[in-house]
Every structure is written in structure tokens, then in C-alpha cells.
Structure 1
Amino acid sequence: MAVKKQVALVTGASSGIGEAAALALADEGFEVVGTSRSGTGSAVGVSFVPLDVGDASSVQAAVQQVIERHGRIDVLVNNAGIGSVGAVEERSVAEEERVFDINVFGLIRMTKAVLPHMRAQGGGRIINLSSVLGLIPNPYMASYVASKHAVEGYTESLDHEVREFGVRALIVEPAYTKTSFDANAVPPEVSLPLYAKRRTTFDEVMAVAMQGGDAPEVVADVIVAAATDRKPRLRYTAGATARRISGQRRFVPAGVFDKAIRKLNKLPA
């Protein structure tokens, strides 16, 4: 009798990290279901269902479709998210709410929809894509940074709640990755002239960082490790830059770290 494959559900799997993760999990032997708004994707060996993580009914329908098709969900990769740029003063509350609705509440909607199934089957892993920006500040990205800090706290707290049911909630922290993140980041609707020079500098710093970033496959390999490690860790940093930044945040004195952030972003001392 053939052993039934474990089932992985990957949100935002039509491109970038999500697509790479879906392909890597399929190569590892998982039955992989990817999601996109259109319900289509180009990842070979991956089936797709439509999903808008900002819509509760869409979330429930997608999860139910996977359960009806495969009978279980063993791994959920919460990858779907949006970026945002601009000074805090330039961005409206509605713009900030949109970032949190996708990056935080979208992740929460998916978790709540999948968790009862994992608990009933006696195990599963919820892998949440955070960022090194969930550990450190970054000017002109405050709402995105705050959303990733929220993901960190939510995931760590959830993990304590669900371990007794055989379920783990885990965090993957990439640094800059060669995706369309910077091009797709949502700019503010209103731009204030007093921030124009600093914003231009930020754009230049970000472009250089993205060009030198890790390939999505680097992050995908770490997601596979989180999904398959016999004794999983709570946090998985993805790539050399992420490991370096994570270490610096823990061990470098606060004042020194603050100066380094300002120097990196070419802000006055």
C-alpha cells in the first residue's frame, strides 16, 4: 500500500519566495497546493486554488477545497504579503490598515482556518514568513516593519498554545531577496516634499540591497527545513545576511546598532 504524501499549502505561490517554496516542497515529496488570487500558477507539479487572504470567505473556501481534495493539511506556509514604503507622516491610516490586513490578519485568517484540522489529525506545522525587519527597525518602512514584528510575537505565542496537540508554529526570517518586492511595495498616496530627499536615498539603498539579495531558492530551502526537521526550531534565519543581522541585533550594544541603522540609511547622526 502506497504511503500517502503529506500535504503542504503555500500562500502567494505564483511568484518569488512562495513559488520557490512550493517547488522545493514538491521536490521533497510533499503534495503541494499553491494559492494565488487567480487560482493559477506556473510551478510544475503544484496544483492551485484561488485565495485572497484579505477575505475571510475566500480563506475558508480555499482551505475547505484542500481538505476535500486531499483530506488533510500537514504544512501551512503563510507567505502571502505586501510591502509598503514612505514616511509615516505621508501614509494614511487606511494605507497602514491595508498592510496589516494582508500581512498580519491574512496570516491569522489562514491560521484559524487550518488549525482545527491540524489539531484533529494530531499534528502539523504552520510556517510564517517574517523578515529580519521583524527584528530591527527600518526607516520609511514603518508599517511593514511593524507588521513583521507582529508576526513574530503572534507566532511565538501561538507555538506555546499548540505544541501539546502536536502542532508547531515556526518563523522564517529572510533578509533582502531577489524578488519583485521593491517594485510592488505600495507607495504613499501623498508625498510630502520635506521627505523627498530622504525617500530618494532610501530607494537607492533598497535597490542596491535587493540586487545583492539572496535568491528565493535560499529561503525555500529553509522553509523545507522548517517543514521537515525532526526537532524544529522556533526561528529559522534564511541566508548569510539574515544570520548576520540577527546576530548583531542580539549582541551589538543598542547605541552602536542605532548608529549603524542611521549610517546604512544615510541619515544624519
Structure 2
Amino acid sequence: MQTILITGTSSGYGLETARHFLTRGWRVIATMRRPDADLLPRSDALRILPLDVTRDESIAAAIAAAGPIDVLVNNAGIGVVGAFEATPLSHIRKVFDTNTFGVMAMCQAVIPQMRARRSGIIVNVTSSVTLAPMPLAAAYTASKQAIDGFTGSLAHELGHVGLRVALVAPGYAPTTRFAHNTGLRVADLIPPAYAGFAAPIFDAYASPALTTTETDVADAVWAAVHDTSGRLHFLAGADAVALHQARFG
């Protein structure tokens, strides 16, 4: 039985990915800032641990409690929607602390044990904004683009010591709480000068032609973990596939 540690499992992609691996015979370490034992089915193969990826001491405690980790899935993330000029720099830093530096910190925390065993997989969940930047999400897009480049570079380094790294890029999932953890209201981040620009964009978000489901992401993570081809990028969702085809043909 292999062990997978997943960050950000309190909802959305992370929660569904934890369920996906748990029902397929894996030992799952589901982490979240405020543990909730009722989110996942009771199982001897499940542990729920507190983890805030923006705090070094929280990361260290979770890794110590987890024991040997075969697969790390960096899923925890937050978003912010609004005009860039109206977005407080303090909140932009929060987005990067979670989406970018939190991922890097988790990687640094698990690489030594994986390298010592010459065995392990890291899967970083980014976004389809790495394929096509999303309007009114400049900070979020930048934080995910950074991880896209970081992961590609890291794959070269860790391949040298026998480890694998992969990227999962989900499309747009209307059911996820995209900006839930920022404490900002979208309305406060759309100054009058941007109102006409923003209105049709929000209308499109409300009725998207193609979307991504939590199951799409869990399936993509599963595929990334079990891949043997050395592939780096895995798309999740019909809209992510469409964006990739539009960009690369």
C-alpha cells in the first residue's frame, strides 16, 4: 500500500482526489488548515492532518507525522478575481504565499526523504491559466505560471536522482470556491473604469460552454501518478483540452 499526501483537501479538487485514491486502495494523508473528519469516509487507510502550507512549522509537523510519503500532490491554492490595480498588494502576497511559495516549501520538505529512497512522485496542480491567462485574475495567473516553470525545471533536477514530477492543469470549475479564502469581495475589486469590461466576462463565467469537474482533476492526478512515459503535463477538463488545442494545435 503506497502513501499519498494531498494538500488542500477540505473541498474541491483536493477532496475528490483524496476520495479517488482512498477507494482505490491507497493510504491517504489528507491535509487541510482546519481538519474535518466528516469530509471523507472512515478508513484505516486515511489520516487527516492539519497543514497550512504558508507556515514552515506547520509543514514540518505534518511531514513528521505523515512518515514516508510516496506521492505528494500540491493542490492547496487560493484565487483572487478583480482588476489588478484595485487588488491590495497584501492579498497578492497571500496568493503567492499559498500558490507558489507554499508549493515550493512542500517540495523542499519531501524531496530529501524521496531522494534518499530514490523513489517518489510530486504532482503540482496548476491551472489552465498557464495555457491562456484569465482576465481579471492577473495575480492568480502569475502565481500559477510561476509553478508551471518551476515544475518543469524541477523535473530535470529530480529526474537525476530517480524522482518524477508532473503538472496537472485543470480548467474552470464553477463549483469550486475560487476566491473563498481571500476575504475579498469581487465587487470591491472592480472600479467603475472596469465595469463595462468585466460584465461580459462574469457573464461568460456564469454560463461557460465547457467546464472542469472535480472528478476530471482526480482522474488527471491518478494518470500523472501512474504514468511511465516521463510526460510532464496532464490536462484536466474539456475546457483545458480545448485551450491546449487552440494554443498548440
For normalisation by structure 1, the TM-score amounts to 0.84
Q: Once the 2 structures are TM-superposed, how far is the Cα of residue 136 of structure 1 from its aligned partner? A: 1.5
Deviates more, 1:175-184 or 1:51-60: 175-184
Structure 1: 5+ residue stretches without partners: 252-269
Alignment partner of 1:93 out of 89, 113, 118: 89
Residue 27 of structure 2 is aligned to residue 31 of structure 1: yes
Partner of 1:217: 215
Size of the alignment, in residue pairs?
242
SS of 1:181's equivalent?
A: coil
The one-letter code of the counterpart of 1:247 is: Q
Q: Once the 2 structures are TM-superposed, how far is the Cα of residue 194 of structure 1 from its aligned partner? A: 1.1
Partner of 2:10: 14
Residue 139 of structure 2 is aligned to residue 140 of structure 1: no
Residue 203 of structure 2 is aligned to residue 204 of structure 1: yes
Change (3 A) 1:140 1:39: same
SS of 2:168's equivalent?
A: strand
Whether the 8 Å CA contact 2:213–2:237 is kept in 1: the answer is no
Greater Rg over alpha carbons, structure: 1
Partner of 1:263: none
1:115-126 equivalence runs, <5 A? 115-126=111-122
Partner of 2:234: 236
The one-letter code of the counterpart of 2:225 is: A
Q: Once the 2 structures are TM-superposed, how far is the Cα of residue 63 of structure 1 from its aligned partner? A: 0.8
Whether the 8 Å CA contact 2:3–2:29 is kept in 1: the answer is yes
SS of 1:53's equivalent?
A: coil
- Partner Cα separation in structure 1 for residue 220 and residue 207 of structure 2: 24
Partner of 1:40: 36
The one-letter code of the counterpart of 1:230 is: T
RMSD: 1.8
- Partner Cα separation in structure 2 for residue 112 and residue 88 of structure 1: 31
Whether the 8 Å CA contact 1:12–1:19 is kept in 2: the answer is yes
Structure 2: 5+ residue stretches without partners: none
Alignment partner of 1:162 out of 155, 158, 161: 158
Deviates more, 1:53-62 or 1:23-32: 23-32
- Partner Cα separation in structure 1 for residue 163 and residue 194 of structure 2: 45
Q: Once the 2 structures are TM-superposed, how far is the Cα of residue 132 of structure 1 from its aligned partner? A: 1.1
For normalisation by structure 2, the TM-score amounts to 0.91
Q: Once the 2 structures are TM-superposed, how far is the Cα of residue 181 of structure 1 from its aligned partner? A: 2.8
Identity within the alignment, %: 38
SS of 1:86's equivalent?
A: coil
Q: Once the 2 structures are TM-superposed, how far is the Cα of residue 227 of structure 1 from its aligned partner? A: 1.0
1:184-195 equivalence runs, <5 A? 184=180, 186=182, 187=184, 191-195=190-194
Q: Deviations over 1:50-82 (max 9, x none)?
A: 011111111111111101xxxx10000000000
Whether the 8 Å CA contact 1:111–1:126 is kept in 2: the answer is yes
